[in-house]
Amino acid sequence: MEKKILFPCVGGFVHGGDYNPDQWLDRLDILEEDVKLMKKAGVNCVTLGVFSWAAYEPEEGDFHFEWMEQIIENLFQNGIYTILSTPSGARPAWLDAKYLEAMRVDNKGLRNRHGGRHNHCMTSPRFRDKVAVIDRKLAEHLGRHPGVIMYHISNELGGECYCPQCVQKFQKYLAEKYDYDIDRLNMEWWTSFWSHHYNTFGEIEPPFANGETTIMGLNMEWKRFTTFNMNDFLQYEIEVLHSVTPQIPVTTNFMSLFGGLDYRKMAPGLDVVSWDNYPPFHNDGETFGETMLGSAFNHAVMRSLKRDTPFMMMESTPSLVNWHSINKLKRPGVHKLSCLQAVACGSDSVQYFQWRKGRGSYEQFHGAVVDHLGTDDTRVFREVAQVGELLQKIAPVAGTVVKSRAALLFDWDNRWAIWDVKALGQKTKKYEETCRDIWKVFLRLGVDMDVVGSDEDLSRYDVVVAPMLYLLQPETAGNLKAFVNRGGQLLATYFTGYVNDAQLCYLGGFPGDGLWELFGVISEEIDALYPSDRNGILLEDGSRWEVMDCAEILRVQDAKVLGTYTDDFYQGSAALTCKNHGKGNAYYVAARTEASQMSALFEKMLADAGIPVKKLPEGVEYHVRSGEEGNYEFYLNCTTEPVELSGVNGYDMVTDAPVSEKLTLPEYGAAVIRL
């Protein structure tokens, strides 16, 4: 497999982060010191200008890029490259004062006032004009500098605007989507219910909090439109930059499972996927290892947006954040471990927010590489410098990718539909948790699943798990059937295939769109359990899975029953089934259990697919990156005790020592084994 080195000039991994010199323009001594310290920390790239609009254009039409040019040049002379951001993440006060329409309108129809960031109307032509002007000038003045290796569009795009211009655009979007056929929209949105009929597209309002929120089709289309409009804005910025400097790749920083945007629709327009990783380390609700697994899942979601290419961890904190409910320090050693985890999961960068702490305002106590103390003689700085050294050591890993033969299906449309549906227990739907928990069990078995959309090509996978696939995209049923028919191992759960893309229920049996034939079962009823209710599933081998939250009552058509309910009026009826299709198997788990209880079943699916399982001690993560030269195995000890692993052979790039059979990792220790 050919390597996809993101930035050959950097010679391996990107190490750096957000740098905000515009906050220090009156302190040349500090700016000079920054470069010296960056070199000491092994920083080879910084992200500049994320929030620099007011410094570039202090008054409308009065542009100043010289200061930034000097900074980029000075960094470049010192071997440090630049990821240049467009400044559209926050607006200067003059812009809002003059162009009121740039400020968002909320879901009660109230226009925001100036302030904060990330709160612009993405439709406003005036705001877009201003963005185009600054972006073009930015590209002209700075984009051609040899130190600039990438554009970072805006910052953490998100949010919704309900202003009249957005409403109009939404109506146009709907008219085009429904071929100007309002009857079709009425039919798909089931508007005969509660007299919701629309005569024209012009009558449709978005789901204002004090307006229409009870049409599932409307709510879904509003979310889809918000993604469409945000993507349109993103592409608008990209086009302006590309018109001047087409050769520079682009990214924008995503926020893992952020619910407001369907990232799968946005990723194709980017050259590289990047995201911001801020796990709540050392919290009191879960073990450290669990928190790490949560991050690993997020990395997998992000990595799977562009399979076969490394992604970037655009932001992370070197020490602590200032916006968690409790802002706890990362314990010694955790920084290195969590950075290596990002790399293990496919990132070709370790980047921080931010390089130096700002003296004032909202983020003055957010962690940074350089503290207010201003020296390299701090624990945090030393740990960052160690990461810099380590990344150089493992530089050959850059450009390799995580290749998985197993996938978890996880959909944004399905998430939105499940959030919105009036069914099950309102607080116990837990779609994301269910997906994450299952994914974690596979990782504990040493299998780093991709996380892909339900309409994606499954031809590279041999095991697919599709939890709670309530909404079926038009292609999904066909894809799943084809997957099983060519010998794939498929597992679906309760709450699968209830509605189509428009959220109309399937008639004639769930899972719909013909999927009940694939599984050989029809779900006749679904029971929601109170938090203290429990049921069980008794398996053929006598073991018992505990059931909570929801349980379907199945009508078995032609599947084998592998487990039955232990309690309640449906005691003895099928709860776990399998229908065989040649080498392929379609498993159906009708009730929610702890994901870990299904581990043996997952192992069987993996074994049938010929995917090796790795038994790892509790709290140890295993990931593999592959390239043309072979594999790199990552072992991460996410516990506070040393662990011993057996059967590990190769060369540990972390300790620079061969490993034969036995590998000992200290607390929070890690190894990168070249095979």
Shortest spacing between CB 367 and ligand GAL, in angstroms: 8
- 639 phi and psi angles, rounded to 5 deg: -135, 170
> 583 by DSSP, 3-state: which?
coil
Q: Smallest gap, in angstroms, from Cβ of residue 522 to ligand GAL?
A: 45
Output 191 or 338, the one with its CB closest to ligand GAL. Answer: 338
Which is nearer to ligand GAL, 315 or 456 (by Cβ)? 315
Per the listing, tokens 């109506």 go with: 171
Report the residue number, 316 or 503, with the smaller CB distance to ligand GAL: 316
Nearest to 420 by CA among 213, 611, 634, 566: 213
Of the residues 101, 160, 221, 315, which is catalytic?
A: 315
Cis peptide before 354 (omega within 30 of 0): yes
Measured from the CB atom, the residue of 191 and 274 that comes closer to ligand GAL is: 274
Please, which residue, 338 or 564, has the CB nearer to ligand GAL?
338
Instruction: Single out the catalytic residue among 156, 188, 237, 621.
Output: 156
Reading the block at residue 298, the tokens are 């997020």
Distance between CA atoms of residues 454 and 468, nearest Å: 11
Sign of CA dihedral 507, 511, 513, 516: negative
Q: How far is the CB of 316 from ligand GAL (least distance, A)?
A: 9
Of residues 292 and 321, the one with the C-beta less far from ligand GAL: 321
Please list, in sequence order, all residues whose beta carbon lies within 8 angstroms of the beta carbon of residue 306, skipping any fewer than 6 positions away: 267, 270, 272, 273
Strand-pair category, 670-674 with 630-637: antiparallel
510 in Cβ contact with 497 (< 8 Å): yes
The Cα 118–Cα 116 span in angstroms is 7
CA angle 407/258/337 to nearest 5° reads 70
Q: Return d(Cα 60, Cα 94) in angstroms, integer.
A: 7
Helix H or strand E segment including 643: strand 643-652
Q: With CA atoms as reference, report the closest residue to 188 among 511, 502, 417.
A: 502
Binding site for ligand GAL (CB under 6 A): 155-156, 276, 278, 315, 321, 353, 363, 366
Which DSSP string do the residues of 487-506 spell out, in sequence order?
Answer: T-EEEEESS-S-B-TT-PBP
Neighbours of 420 (CB within 10 A): 17
Q: Where are the beta strands (DSSP E) in 260-327?
A: 274-276, 311-315
The CB-of-34 to ligand GAL minimum distance in angstroms stands at 18
Q: Cβ-closest residue to ligand GAL?
A: 353
The reply to whether 156 belongs to the active site is yes
Q: Residue 155 or 295: which CB sits closer to ligand GAL?
A: 155
Least gap, CB of 317 to ligand GAL (angstroms): 6
Residue 224, SS3? helix
Q: Cβ closer to ligand GAL: 356 or 429?
A: 356
List, in sequence order, the alpha helices (H) in 399-475.
Answer: 412-420, 431-444
CB of 102 to ligand GAL, least distance (A): 20
Q: Token match 């092994």: residue?
A: 42
Minimum CB distance to ligand GAL, residue 366 (Å): 5
Q: How far apart are CA 477 and CA 482, in angstroms?
A: 9
Long-range CB pairs of 662-665 (<8 Å, 24+ gap) are 663/635, 665/620, 665/635, 665/637
**CA-based nearest residue to 49, from 132, 138, 127, 136:** 138
Helix (H) or strand (E) holding 166, with range, is helix 164-177
Q: What are residue 508's phi and psi, to 5 degrees?
A: 90, 10
> Is residue 524 flagged as an active site residue?
no
Judge contact between 308 and 6, C-beta under 8 A: no
Give the nearer residue to ligand GAL in terms of CB position, either 156 or 455.
156
Sign of the torsion formed by the C-alpha atoms of 56, 59, 63 and 67: negative
Closest CB to ligand GAL among residues 366, 415: 366
**Widest CA span in the chain:** 77
| Active site positions, annotated | 156, 315
